[in-house]
């Protein structure tokens, strides 16, 4: 059984953030290495991996806050969908603000995936659901 107070710690944040950066980086960086595609290599560690990391950290902090306030949104899938849409909207705001239109697809997709994954991995549950982990 997992202690409900220990679900959203700094260690848990790192367990979510490190794969959020390394996963997209490796999935796009390895093929770019073998294809000798320098542009894709640059995008893999910047426009692909960083939005995923930022979305993961942002969603984790929001989920932690909601958990402390004992807010239970919906079931896991609907919450992930809600956070995915939220990350998509925030990504588009950032793309517009920083004029990153050439990288819209990379940023949008990566941030949505990062937000959805962290939300699925850290669901908000009622206190009675803690026993069913």
For residues 41-65, average pLDDT? 95
* pLDDT beyond 60 at 84: yes
Confidence of residue 133 (pLDDT cuts 50, 70, 90): very low
pLDDT in tens, 7-29: 899 999 999 999 999 999 999 99
End-to-end CA distance of the chain: 7
pLDDT at 118: 94
For residues 77-90, average pLDDT? 94
**Alpha helix stretches (DSSP H) within the chain:** 10-35, 38-43, 49-68, 76-98, 104-121
Query: Rounded distance, CA 96 to CA 131, Å?
Result: 44
Confidence of residue 70 (pLDDT cuts 50, 70, 90): confident
96 or 7, which is more confident: 96
Query: Rounded distance, CA 77 to CA 79, Å?
Result: 5
Q: What average pLDDT does the chain have?
A: 89
């Amino acid at each position: 059984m997992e202690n409900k107070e220990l679900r959203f710690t700094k260690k848990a944040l790192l367990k979510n953030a490190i794969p959020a950066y390394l996963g997209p980086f490796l999935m796009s960086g390895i093929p770019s290495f073998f294809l000798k595609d320098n542009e894709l290599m640059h995008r893999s560690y910047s426009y692909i991996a960083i939005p995923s990391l930022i979305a993961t950290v942002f969603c984790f902090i929001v989920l932690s806050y909601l958990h402390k306030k004992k807010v239970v949104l919906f079931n896991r899938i609907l919450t992930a969908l809600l956070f995915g849409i939220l990350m998509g909207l925030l990504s588009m705001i950032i793309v517009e603000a920083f004029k990153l239109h050439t990288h819209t697809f990379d940023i949008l997709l990566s941030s949505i995936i990062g937000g959805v994954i962290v939300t699925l991995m850290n669901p908000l549950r009622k206190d009675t659901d803690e026993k069913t982990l």
